[in-house]
Amino acid sequence: MPMAPLRSFPTGVFVLLASAVAGLVLALYAYFTPLTGVTGTPGALAVIVACAVLAVLALTQRVAVKHTARATLRVAIVLLLLAICFAALLLHRWWICVAMGVGLAGVVVDMIRPASTGNGARA
């Protein structure tokens, strides 16, 4: 996949990345802190992994050049956001779901104001 220079983050990608990191931190807290109700559970672990994957996809989106690749990534990201939110609801981790909502807004922003992929300029 052609790579773009990592000079800056477009707003949408930044928001998405921030939401993935926020979800990751919240899921790590839920997994490791006693008495969260999901301490040490496979479900919380799955959300940790999913948030990490989401962060990687967000970064990949930043450097993806081809339109089809970006579109495919966006679909995967949206599906992952929804899946994480659903899982977080079942884990009673409402704030993770809120973070995914913010991430979804980031995707929308990125669609409206896409990053300039040829020279890495801010969209």
Partner 1 sequence: MNAFPAGLAAVALVLLAGPSPLRAQRPATPAGAASATPAQTAGNVPLVPAQATWDSFHGQLNAQKYSPLTQITAANVQHLQKVWEFHTGDVSDGSGKVPATVWSATPIFANDTIYIGTPFYRLIALDPTTGKPKWSFDTHTPLKATTQPVLKNRGVAYWAAANPVPGAPCQKIVYMGTMDARLFALDADTGRKCAGFADDGVLDVNRWNNTPKKWPLSLLQPPTVVGDHLILGWAGKDWAYEHAPAGTVWSINARTGQREWTFEALTPEMRKHSGTANVWTQMSADPTLGLVYLPVSSPSPNFWGGNRTEDAPYATSTTALDVATGKVVWSRQWVHHDVWDYDVDSAPTLVDITVDGKPIPALIQATKMGFLFVVNRKTGEDVWPIEERPVPGGDGSVKGEHLSPTQPFPTLPRPLLDQSRKPEVWPLADAVGAGQCSRLWNKLAYRGMYTPPTTRGEGTLAFPDSAGAVQWGGVAFDPVSQTAVVNTSRLVQYVKLYDREAYEKADKGSGNESGFAPQIGAPYGMRLEVARNWLGMPCWKPPFGELVALDMHTGLVKWRRPVGASQQYGFFMPERWGSPTIGGPAITAGGVIFIGASMDAKVRAYALATGKELWSDQAQAPAVANPAVYEYKGREYVAFVAGGNTILKDQVGDQIVVYALPEN
Binding site for partner 1 (CB under 8 A): 34-38, 41-44, 46, 87, 90-92
Q: Which is nearer to partner 1, 39 or 116 (CB)?
A: 39
Which structure tokens are listed for 52? 């990490």
Minimum CB–partner distance for residue 110 and partner 1 (Å): 30
Minimum CB–partner distance for residue 86 and partner 1 (Å): 10
Minimum CB–partner distance for residue 44 and partner 1 (Å): 5
Q: Which is nearer to partner 1, 38 or 81 (CB)?
A: 38
At 21 the three-state DSSP class reads: helix
SS3 for 17-49 is HHHHHHHHHHHHHHHHCCCCCCCCCHHHHHHHH
Residue 40 and residue 61: Cα distance in Å, rounded?
31
Q: Which is nearer to partner 1, 94 or 112 (CB)?
A: 94
